[in-house]
Amino acid sequence: MEELLANSPVTEPVLLILLSLAERPRHGYAILQDTQEITAGRVRLSTGTLYGALTRLLDDGWIERYESEDQSRGKQSYRLTAAGRRNLQAEVSRLKQLARVAGLRVARKET
């Protein structure tokens, strides 16, 4: 069961968090704002969802804590690890392939 869950594609919130951290290290609130910006306001993560995902990503070694200037104000920043970036690239490739097939099929259906 655990293996099955581990091999499943990442969920949308997790993907958005990874994409947000792919650019640069960010703290919790900055991640929330960035995910909202990436999706043009379509997705607005709650704090509970964000920290559930961050905890899991930390446990899996996809992200790590990052020392930043904001930390003194109770803000902890996070950044992608090498493994996290690799996995994000794999996920993006998977989505690209899926989008390519979807595009072809939709175009074929329309003609």
Partner 1 sequence: MLRLYRSLLFLYPHSYRCVYAGEMLSVLAEVDLEASRGNRWARIAWRAREVGGLLSGAFTEHARQLTGFYRTPVLFPRRSRMRSEFRFPKATGILMTLILVAVIMAIEKAKAISASLPPTSTPVGPIQPEHLSTVTSFLVILALALSAAAIGWLVVYALRRSGLQRLSDVRPGAAAGGNKPAA
Q: Are 38 and 44 in contact (CB under 8 A)?
A: no
**Contact with partner 1 (CB under 8 A) among 19, 25, 26, 32:** 32
Q: Interface with partner 1 includes 80 (CB under 8 A)?
A: no
**What's the Cα-to-Cα distance from 100 to each of 104, 105, 109, 111, rounded to whole Å?**
6, 9, 14, 17
Instruction: Output 21 or 110, the one with its CB closest to partner 1.
Output: 21
Q: According to the binding rule CB under 8 A, does residue 85 interact with partner 1?
A: no
Binder of partner 1 out of 22, 49, 68, 79 (CB under 8 A): 49
Contact call for residues 22 and 89 (beta carbons, < 8 A):
no
Question: Toward partner 1, which CB reaches closer, 28 or 79?
Answer: 28
